[in-house]
A = this chain, B = another copy of it.
Amino acid sequence: MAVTLKEVAERAGVSRSAVSRTFTDGASVSDKMRRKVEKAARELGYSPNALASSLTTGRTKLIGLISDNFHNPFFLKAFDVFTSGLQARDLRPLLVNLTSMPDPDDAVQMLRQYSVDGVIVASSTVPPSFATLFEKANIPAVFAFARYRGSANSNVVGIDNEFAGAFAARTLIERGYRNIAYLGGPQAAVSTTDRLKGFSAEMASHGLGFTHTFSGKYSFQAGRTEMLRLIDQGDLAEVYFGADDIISIGALSALESRGIRVPEDVGILGLNDLEMAGWENINLTTIRQPIGQIASASVDLMVSLLDEPGRHPEARLFPCTLIERGTLKPLKIGA
């Protein structure tokens, strides 16, 4: 159907190799030849078949982009940066939606079949099997928004979730809160559990206890439902650290719908700094995770991995900062 190299060669009256060479840069072709071939190619509307060439070159320029979070708006930004970053480097994202796969390991299998050059896993609820499966398949993998295992044995880009949890606890304590609670995302998400771990350690180091609960998903509804449950159960804490903005915004909505004032009656601290957190009608105080930087660094790391196959696994962690808005009582000056 499509025009092939052979047809171009015939029309230009040259060998197939010659045509191939004019379309691979760095190959030796005379100007005369190049012009002849380009003319024929233009006339025929030829464009080389990337997949056929991948067969011999061993590179498809396909990068698997795996995610399982299509409910948190956070990922739209991430997708934007991932895709434009990959494209800018002449790589193409093959998107995999883990949510709708019966067995997550099928994703690995599928990406193998499509000979992707590498994989970016953008998820914090990723099955632990992934790292080893990709390693066994010899596919370089970058885990974005994932857990940093201390001894970096896989490529990780993100924040230090334990640190972020501790930072949250410290922030709340500094604000004078004592009756503090942790409102997590899904228990299966390493982001939620690691943040809890750091949060817990920091609380303990101040001699404070706290309660914690989980929402089933990283979604508005999950956060809202969980907070409604807490309200109905009575005995609210003075402040909640929601392990993600989308959870926190859901919680905020639950509080509002029950007439509980924020931050006067209950405080909320989020994490992420979603665009929505800054909307006037939400105005959530939160800890900022630099989403764009993380996505962008993940692509950079992927490219390094491709250039330098034997490379040591590396973790790239970014700092978090507090974004002061309206859902926490202010820091008392001089307190």
Give A residues with C-beta under 8 Å from B: 1-2, 45, 47-52, 54-55, 58, 60, 62, 65, 70-71, 73, 75-77, 79-80, 83-84, 87-88, 92-97, 99-101, 109-110, 112-115, 136-138, 220, 249, 252-254, 256-257, 275-276, 279-282
Contact = CB atoms under 8 A, between A and B. Distances in A.
Contact of A97 (B47, B80, B113): B80
7 contacts: A47-B109, A50-B115, A75-B76, A76-B76, A80-B97, A80-B99, A254-B280
A50 B114 CA distance: 5
B70 A115 contact: no
Number of copies: 2
Contacts of A113: 47-50
A92 B114 contact: yes
A100 B88 CA distance: 8
Contacts of A54: 51
A70 B77 contact: yes
A84 B97 contact: yes
A220 B70 contact: no
A323 B79 CA distance: 30
A41 to B, nearest CB: 13
Given A51-B115, A80-B99, 18 more contacts: A2-B115, A47-B113, A50-B113, A50-B114, A50-B115, A51-B55, A62-B94, A70-B83, A71-B76, A73-B73, A80-B97, A87-B100, A252-B281, A253-B280, A253-B281, A276-B276, A281-B281, A281-B282
Contacts of A112: 2, 47
Contacts of A55: 51-52, 55
Contacts of A253: 279-281
Lowest 3 A-B CB distances belong to which pairs? A84-B100, A70-B80, A83-B97
A77 to B, nearest CB: 7
A115 B49 contact: yes
Contacts of A93: 94-95
A249 to B, nearest CB: 7
Contacts of A249: 279, 281
Contacts of A137: 2
B76 A70 contact: yes
Given A73-B73, A75-B76, A79-B70, A1 B95 contact: no
A129 to B, nearest CB: 15
